[in-house]
Structure 1
Amino acid sequence: MITAVFLSVGLNTLVKANLSSGMSNFVFAAYSNLFGFCFLLTATTLRYRNRSPPPLNNSIVFRAFLLGFLGVFIQTLFYIGLGYGSPTLSSATEDLIPAFTFIIAVVFRMEKLDLKLRSSQAKTIGTVVSIAGALTVTLYKGLPITTHVMRHNLFLSSQQSQWLLGGCILSTATFTASVLIVIQVNSFNYPFKL
């Protein structure tokens, strides 16, 4: 998990640097998905070179297409939010995925919430702490150095409002990613072993 977090922070920094230098969100998403496709195609070919792969029916192909489409949508939304925010903000909002997934699982009764059990208490406390931490990072960036007075109203600087917009977009992306995780659990109960 520590390695995954370091790789995620490195990816966020790399994406932000590329977006800041003028690369389009859509181009970056297309390149990363093309790289993932090539990697998975190679891995699948190597795994099933001596035996036949499991059968695919229309239902599995449709579900894979739907989940892939949602994944690309989430990735693009994440890159748009990262363009408005920073790698720090994106890393903080990525920590919301387990919390949102737990909340969705409780709502849809995939997870039982019994506060008498220590595991349920730990999950609940972890969810509250991660949401509070992400909200703190999103909503508090510090006072702006300069403020603009327009029509007798005090507005935050555009950089502050972009930070907030980036945080909202990134939070939407992480919530949608949590929904995607729940959909994946329910939709891919294979009738065969991989």
Structure 2
Amino acid sequence: MNEFPESDKIIEIDLPRVAKNSLTITVAAALFLWALKIFIERDFLFSLGLWTIVLFVSGYILLIILHELFHLLGFRVFGGVPWKKMVVGVNLKMGIAYATTDQLMTNHAIRKALLLPFWMTGILPAVIGLSVGSGLLVSLSALLIGGAAGDFAMYKELRKLPDDWFVRDDPELPKLYVYSPDKINGLG
């Protein structure tokens, strides 16, 4: 881990604050999407049964897994990170799922990788749910939109920095190490 120089900046995510933002975003997304669903269908129908609960829990777990896999796909497609240099898992102590790599990526690339899951597991299911009239899918998408709060927080901080700066993810903590191109180019 000491193969990298001292970072120019460290971006740390405050997990309690992110959790609060996640709840706020989830509630706002749910209210907005359900209002949109009611407006589109001109009707409100809500039913809750055992199979709905089973599908909801299964769908939520599946979408969380897909969220992390889309981060990995973003690392590969946008950052050129080899598959063998990526890790996905769950930190039960912190209550988070994660996807990470110890490889450097440009700021531009990691920002794309951060938002890819939001689009694919939040927005896309919302569009599909609204198109087919699925309250289940609309509800799940609201949870995944809110679940991207940590990604939004990192993205917001990274957006303040130049695209060509380099970023390395911390393998254990919600923390990013940011390096100027001069520091990284000086390594080679």
TM-based fold match above 0.5? no
Question: Which one has a bigger Cα radius of gyration?
Answer: 1
Which structure shows the higher strand fraction?
Answer: 2
TM-score between both structures, scaled by the size of structure 1: 0.29
TM-score, length of structure 2 as denominator length: 0.30
Q: Which has the higher helix share?
A: 1
